[in-house]
Each structure stands twice: as C-alpha cells, then as structure tokens.
Amino acid sequence: MLDLGKYIIFSLLSIFLSISSFSETRKFNIGKIATKQEVAGWDIDIRPDGLGAPKGSGDALSGEEVYAERCASCHGDFGEGIDRWPELVGGSGTLSSHDPVKTTGSYWPYASTIYDYVYRSMPFGEAQSLTYDETYKIVAYLLNMNDIIDEDFILSNKNIGKIKMPNRNGFLLPDPRPDVKNLNGNPCMKNCNTPTKIIGKARDIDVTPEDEKS
C-alpha cells in the first residue's frame, strides 16, 4: 500500500513538473494553440522537394482548356504575355543576351514554385480559386509548352518534386557581396582619375512622367 501511495505521489509530482516545465517554455502564456484543421487551411506552400504538395494531378492535354479559361486573357494563348503581363513560355538561351527573357521555362529553377505561385496568387485578383487538380493541369501545360514534359505526362504531388527544370543550376550561392574593390574606407579625395564626360542624359531618353502643368 505504501508503494502505491508513493506511486500516486510520484505521478502527481511528475504531472505537476510537466505542467510547470510547459509553462516555463511558454514564457508569456500568450496566444492559443492552433488546431490541425486551422493550420491545414493556411499552410499552402510547397517546397522544391514536393513537401506540402496537395494530393492531385493533371496533364498538359487537359491543362490547355483550364489555361485558356483562367490564364490566357493576360498571358496569351501560348504564354507569350499580352501588353505588359508576363510571358510564361520561351526565352531559352537568352539569359546571357542583351535582352534576357525570364520565363517559367528559361529561368524558374523549380516546378514546385510554379505550382505554389499559381495556386496562391493566380488568376490575378482571384487568388486560391483554382482546385488542386486545375493547378496541376495549368503547371503541366506550362511545362509542356516549355518542352520540359510531354503532353500526356501526368503531373502530381508524387512527381512535382522530381521535375528537372532547365535553369536548375543557373543560380549562384552564397551572396559574394561586397563584390567591388575593397577601398577600406579610404577612397580617393583629390585629383581622382575618373571620367567626367557626359555620355547620357535621362532628359534625352524622355520617358520620365510629368505632372500636369498648372
């Protein structure tokens, strides 16, 4: 009996200790614990390895229709971009040119990013209105238009982390700045050798907005 009493006391003590250690880690005791359901509704991001990708699938063939309906009015039927809305297709081989064209095909390093972005913020002004399957279809359509997957390839949560994007290795890490010559806080102060000829004026380019004259 004595042992049982000891056991009870020990149990109560351990419960008390665990409660007190819990409140110790919660320094201020502010806020509430989020439920799984609450988190699931907001936690929509997807990582390059596919972590977070919701269950679903779609191919480019069925994606064409969704794209035409939800995307083409701004981005064009073939992802060429209308007016100043972004082009989504092409640009391959232009990144080192005078006029680089950065599209999902030529520049974006991860397919997951396309899904994540399309789902969270497209169509412009109708964010998070696409279904998971519609989003997979649109992404598959874009990947196919950029010659990254075949038109009958079924893109899904299982393989979106494995798509190899053309510019996957086009990014440099870490940040090498400061990358200019280290002057150690002592730049030239007098008779410095620097060109002072005017070679361009913004006024001549004439693209600066002007206030209406009074």
Partner 1 sequence: MAKEKKDIISRRSVIKAGVGLGALGLSSKSLLAKEANNKNLPPNVPEWTETLGDGVDVNPYGMPSEFESNVIRRNVEWLTASTESSVNFTPLQDLEGIVTPNGLCFERHHGGTAIINPIDYRLMINGLVDREMIFTLDDLKRFPQVNKFYFLECAANGGMEWKGSQLNGCQYTFGMVHNVQYTGVKLFDLIQETGLKNNAKWVLAEGSDSSGMTRSIPIEKIKDDCIIAWAMNGEALRPEQGYPIRLVVPGWEGNMWVKWLRRIEFGDKPYMTREETSKYTDLLSDGKARMFTWVMDAKSVITSPCPEKPVLQKGIHQIRGLAWSGRGKIKRVDVSLDGGKNWKTAQLHSPVLEKSLTRFTIPFEWNGEEMLLQSRAIDETNYVQPTIKELQNIRGVNSIYHNNSIATWLISKNGKVDNVRLG
Site for partner 1 in 108-167 (CB under 8 A): 108-110, 112-113, 116-117, 120-121, 124-125, 127-128
* Shortest CB 70 distance to partner 1, Å: 10
Q: How many CB atoms neighbour CB 56 within 10 A?
A: 17
Options 5-13, 58-66, 134-142, 191-199: segment touching partner 1 (CB under 8 A)? 191-199
Shortest CB 119 distance to partner 1, Å = 9
Q: Which of 14, 34, 158, 164 binds partner 1 (CB under 8 A)?
A: 34
Query: Which residues is 58 bridged to in the sheet?
Result: 155
Beta carbon nearer to partner 1, 3 or 179 = 179
Q: How many CB atoms lie within 10 A of CB 99?
A: 6
Tokens of 193: 């050798």
Instruction: Identify residues 45-84 at the interface with partner 1 (CB under 8 A).
Output: 45, 47-49, 68, 72-74, 77, 82-84
Q: Shortest gap between Cβ of 46 and partner 1 (angstroms)?
A: 8
Please list every residue from 194 through 213 that binds partner 1, using CB under 8 A. Answer: 194-203, 205, 207-209, 211-212
Q: Of 34, 168, 72, whose CA–CA distance to 113 is shortest?
A: 168
Q: Is 208 exposed, middle or buried (0-12, 13-18, 19+ CB in 10 A)?
A: exposed
Structure tokens at 116: 């994540």
- Do you find a cis peptide bond into 195, omega within 30 degrees of 0? no
Q: Tokens at residue 18, please?
A: 């665990």
Indicate whether 20 belongs to the interface with partner 1 (CB under 8 A): no
- Interface with partner 1 (CB under 8 A), residue total 88
Task: Tell me which residue of 105, 106, 142, 102 sits closest to 122, measured CA to CA.
Answer: 142
Contact between 88 and 101 under an 8 Å Cβ cutoff? The reply is: no
Report the nearest approach of partner 1 to the CB of residue 5 (Å).
34
Q: Name residue, tokens 């907005």.
A: 209
Cβ nearer to partner 1, comparing 85 with 153: 85
Q: For the CB of residue 3, give the shortest distance to partner 1 in the complex, in Å.
A: 34
Looking at 1, 2, 4, 33, which residue binds partner 1 (CB under 8 A)? 33
